[in-house]
A and B are shown apart, each in its own frame.
Chain A
Amino acid sequence: MCLSIPVRIESIEGSEAVVSINGAAYKAGIHLIDNPQVGDYVLLHAGFAIQKISDHEARETLELIKQMKSPF
Chain B
Amino acid sequence: MKYVHEYRNKELSQKLINKIHHSAKGKYTFMEVCGGHTMAIQKFGIPSLLPPKIKLLSGPGCPVCVTEKSYIDTAIAYARLSNTIIATFGDLMRIPGSTSSLELEKARGSDVTIVLSALEALKIAQNKPDKKIIFLAIGFETTAPGSAVAVVQASKARVKNFFILSAHKLMPPAMKAIVDEGVKIDGYICPGHVSTITGSAIYDDIARKYSLPCVISGFEPLDLLQTILALVHQVNEKHSTVEIQYARAVQPNGNPKAKAIMKQIFCETDSEWRGMGNIPKSKLVLSEKYQQYDAEKMIPVDVEPTISDKGCICGEILKGLKTPLDCKLFGSGCTPENPEGACMVSGEGACQAYYRYQSQTEIT
Contact = CB atoms under 8 A, between A and B. Distances in A.
Is there a direct interface between A and B, measured as CB atoms under 8 Å apart in the complex? yes
Interface of A: 1-6, 8, 21-22, 29, 31-34, 41, 43, 45-48, 50-51, 53-55, 57-58, 60-62, 64-66, 68, 70-72
B315 interface: no
Given A6-B1, A50-B196, 10 more contacts: A2-B36, A3-B36, A6-B2, A6-B4, A32-B261, A46-B118, A47-B120, A50-B255, A68-B19, A70-B19
A66 B144 CA distance: 37
30 contacts: A1-B193, A6-B1, A6-B4, A8-B2, A22-B1, A29-B119, A31-B149, A31-B257, A32-B258, A45-B143, A46-B89, A46-B117, A46-B146, A47-B117, A47-B120, A48-B117, A48-B145, A50-B142, A51-B197, A54-B249, A58-B3, A58-B6, A60-B247, A61-B245, A65-B222, A68-B19, A70-B19, A71-B18, A71-B19, A71-B21
Contacts of B3: 6, 41, 53, 58
B119 A50 contact: no
Contacts of B223: 61
Contacts of A55: 248
Interface string B313-336: 000000000000000000000000
B2 to A, nearest CB: 6
B170 to A, nearest CB: 12
Q: Is the interface of B mostly helix, strand, loop or mixed?
A: helix
Contact of A47 (B7, B118, B261): B118
Contacts of A41: 2-3
Given A1-B140, A5-B1, A54 B261 contact: no
A64 B222 CA distance: 11
B194 interface: yes
B218 to A, nearest CB: 8
A34 to B, nearest CB: 6
A46 B6 contact: no
Nearest to A54: B248
B275 interface: no
Given A1-B63, A2-B191, A47 B146 contact: yes
Contact of A2 (B2, B23, B193): B193
List the 6 closest pairs (A to B, CB-CB), nearest first.
Answer: A47-B117, A71-B22, A2-B142, A2-B193, A58-B248, A57-B247
Interface in B238-256: 245, 247-251, 255
